[in-house]
């Protein structure tokens, strides 16, 4: 009986060891600095362009100005000199796997500032400073030595982008090119078993050609953001990061004072990590103009790219004293389903020489209930040179 019990315990131990090894293998090791990973997009992404936000963020086939050009350079179509300013507000939400008073927030409500206009004959251009992603984690705390001490960090990630745009018409087509000069800025990068506070900024150039076809009341648009491989050295870690291919296409149809829009966007996140799924985002939009006001509504479906366990990056060369402090501290976490379904609404009020726009996106799926609000103001610069450019001037 003793021998049978001994064999049973040995078998149980081997099973637990095998299960533990398998679980570790199934846990995601980060292929890039943590908060730029796509399963944080549910909060970090800022949907730039308040008008597009109101109509389900459909923008690929909508002719416009600098705010449109950031998403598809070929949509840049207005020759008048134009200045645009936008703020984006995201209320805090619970962190993915630490819901007890741990919040993701975006305390700087800045979205975009830019200019567009004619450069030479039919050649149009635009330049903008915009923030496509922003995330601040308040706060990451680890109890050391079973509560004898604590390490507190406030990690953040901001993607600052300076975008230069060129667009040129050829018959029914418009061709465009965006050069996105990206600065990926990280603060308090988390590396397990270290006490260092690590801040780092990386520069990446993203190239995005686009095309717009216009025939009567129908527009078809396509933009491709080319993939880039870059090295990100984070003091103790060295990441070979692939920023994936993104293909966005859409159509819009104008019927009297109504416009109907539909889009699809595919991102090849499996090139960043084999653990990630590629993401297909679907969007529908509608807008109606009544005199000086345009009313909008829309729907956006964003699927998750990863669900499962992850392991924080760790300092490989640790001494016994460091190991003693970090003993029994959990190194990993779990990412739940981050799929989202956004309902959107908004409007634009057109006044003499400019426009005021409000946009709202609200997730209704409830897995990660994110809200975004945008307010934008745009002016034709030629109008500003004169007097009486506001509606209330006499």
Q: What is the pLDDT of residue 24?
A: 43
CATH, residue 336: 2.40.160.60
Q: Omega into 209 within 30° of 0, i.e. cis?
A: no
Residue 384: which region, alpha, beta or left (left: phi > 0; alpha: psi -120 to 50)?
A: alpha
Distance, in Å, from the CA atom of 95 to the CA atom of 309, rounded to the nearest integer, reads 15
Q: What phi, psi does 145 have (nearest 5°)?
A: 50, 45
Distance, in Å, from the CA atom of 281 to the CA atom of 296, rounded to the nearest integer, reads 20
pLDDT in tens, 171-198: 999 999 999 999 999 998 888 777 778 8
- Given pLDDT bands bounded at 50, 70 and 90, which one contains residue 318? low
Domain assignment present for residue 143? The answer is: yes
- Given pLDDT bands bounded at 50, 70 and 90, which one contains residue 252? very high
pLDDT in tens, 196-250: 788 999 999 999 999 999 999 999 999 999 999 999 998 888 999 999 999 999 9
Domain assignment present for residue 270? The answer is: yes
Mean pLDDT of 128-147: 80
Distance, in Å, from the CA atom of 227 to the CA atom of 72, rounded to the nearest integer, reads 16
Give the helix/strand (H/E) hosting 325.
helix 320-326
Domain assignment present for residue 109? The answer is: yes
The SS3 call for residue 340 is strand
Q: How far apart are the first and last CA of the chain?
A: 102
- Whether pLDDT at 116 is above 70: yes
Mean pLDDT of 333-355: 94
Distance, in Å, from the CA atom of 27 to the CA atom of 308, rounded to the nearest integer, reads 7
Distance, in Å, from the CA atom of 333 to the CA atom of 336, rounded to the nearest integer, reads 10
Regarding predicted confidence, which is higher, 20 or 176?
A: 176
* Helix, strand, coil share (%) of the chain residues, nearest 5: 15, 55, 30
Q: What proportion of the chain, given as a percentage, has pLDDT over 70?
A: 84
Give the helix/strand (H/E) hosting 211.
strand 200-215
Give the helix/strand (H/E) hosting 302.
strand 293-302
Q: How many domains does the chain have?
A: 1
* Geometric angle at alpha carbon 72, from 68 and 222, rounded to 5°: 135
Tell me the whole-structure pTM to 2 decimals: 0.88
Regarding predicted confidence, which is higher, 362 or 5?
A: 362
CA-to-CA separations, 187 to 180, 198, 324, in angstroms, rounded: 22, 6, 26
Mean pLDDT of 338-342: 97
Q: What is the pLDDT of residue 3?
A: 52
Give the helix/strand (H/E) hosting 52.
helix 50-54
Distance, in Å, from the CA atom of 177 to the CA atom of 210, rounded to the nearest integer, reads 6
Domain assignment present for residue 391? The answer is: no
Distance of CA 258 to the CA centre of its chain: 29
CA-to-CA separations, 257 to 4, 129, 217, 289, 353, in angstroms, rounded: 82, 32, 11, 5, 21
Q: What is the pLDDT of residue 257?
A: 95
Domain assignment present for residue 392? The answer is: no
Distance, in Å, from the CA atom of 86 to the CA atom of 81, rounded to the nearest integer, reads 17
Question: Closest Cα to residue 265, out of 245, 288, 249, 243?
Answer: 249
Domain assignment present for residue 390? The answer is: no
Domain assignment present for residue 393? The answer is: no
Distance, in Å, from the CA atom of 390 to the CA atom of 394, rounded to the nearest integer, reads 9
pLDDT in tens, 60-112: 999 999 999 999 999 999 888 999 999 999 999 888 766 555 788 888 888 99
Domain assignment present for residue 394? The answer is: no
Regarding predicted confidence, which is higher, 322 or 203?
A: 203
Residue 78: give the domain boundaries: 2-384
- Whether pLDDT at 148 is above 70: no
Least confident of 56-65, 123-132, 266-275, 381-390: 381-390
Q: What is the pairing mode between strands 28-29 and 308-311? A: parallel
Q: What is the pLDDT of residue 386?
A: 56
Least confident of 194-198, 247-251, 284-288, 297-301: 194-198
Q: What is the pLDDT of residue 27?
A: 84
Distance, in Å, from the CA atom of 77 to the CA atom of 309, rounded to the nearest integer, reads 46
């Amino acid at each position: 009986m003793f021998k049978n019990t001994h064999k049973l315990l040995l078998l149980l131990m081997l099973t637990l060891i095998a299960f533990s090894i398998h679980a570790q293998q199934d846990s995601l090791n980060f292929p890039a600095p943590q908060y730029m990973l796509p399963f944080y997009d549910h909060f970090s992404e800022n949907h730039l362009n308040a008008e597009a936000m109101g109509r389900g963020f459909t923008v690929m086939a909508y002719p416009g100005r600098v705010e449109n050009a950031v998403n598809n350079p070929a949509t840049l179509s207005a020759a008048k000199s134009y200045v645009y300013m936008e703020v984006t507000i995201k209320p805090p939400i619970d962190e993915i796997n630490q819901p007890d008073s741990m919040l993701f927030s975006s305390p700087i409500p800045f979205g975009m500032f830019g200019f567009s206009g004619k450069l030479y004959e039919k050649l149009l251009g635009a330049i903008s400073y915009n923030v496509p992603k922003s995330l601040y984690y308040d706060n990451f705390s680890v109890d050391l030595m079973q509560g004898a001490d604590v390490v507190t960090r406030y990690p953040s990630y901001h993607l600052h982008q300076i975008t230069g745009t060129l667009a040129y018409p050829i018959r029914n087509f418009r061709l465009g090119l965006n050069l996105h000069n990206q600065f990926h800025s990280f603060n308090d990068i988390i590396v397990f078993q270290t006490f260092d506070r690590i801040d780092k900024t990386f520069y990446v150039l993203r190239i995005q050609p686009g095309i717009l076809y216009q025939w009567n009341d129908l527009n078809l648009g396509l933009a491709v953001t080319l993939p880039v491989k870059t090295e990100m050295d984070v003091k103790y870690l060295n990441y070979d990061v692939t920023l994936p291919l993104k293909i966005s296409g859409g159509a819009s149809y104008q019927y009297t004072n109504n416009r109907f829009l539909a889009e699809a966007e595919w991102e090849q996140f499996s090139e960043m990590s084999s653990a990630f799924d590629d993401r297909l985002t679907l969007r529908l939009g509608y807008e109606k103009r009544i005199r000086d006001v345009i009313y909008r509504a829309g729907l956006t479906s964003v699927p998750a790219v990863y669900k499962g366990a992850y392991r924080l990056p760790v300092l490989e060369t640790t001494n016994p004293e460091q190991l003693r402090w970090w003993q029994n501290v959990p190194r990993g976490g779990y990412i739940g389903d981050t799929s989202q379904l956004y309902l959107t609404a908004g409007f634009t009020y057109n006044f003499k020489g400019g426009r005021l726009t409000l946009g709202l996106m609200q997730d209704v799926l409830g897995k990660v209930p994110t809200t975004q609000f945008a307010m934008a103001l745009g002016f034709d610069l030629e109008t500003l040179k004169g007097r009486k450019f506001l509606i209330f001037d006499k």
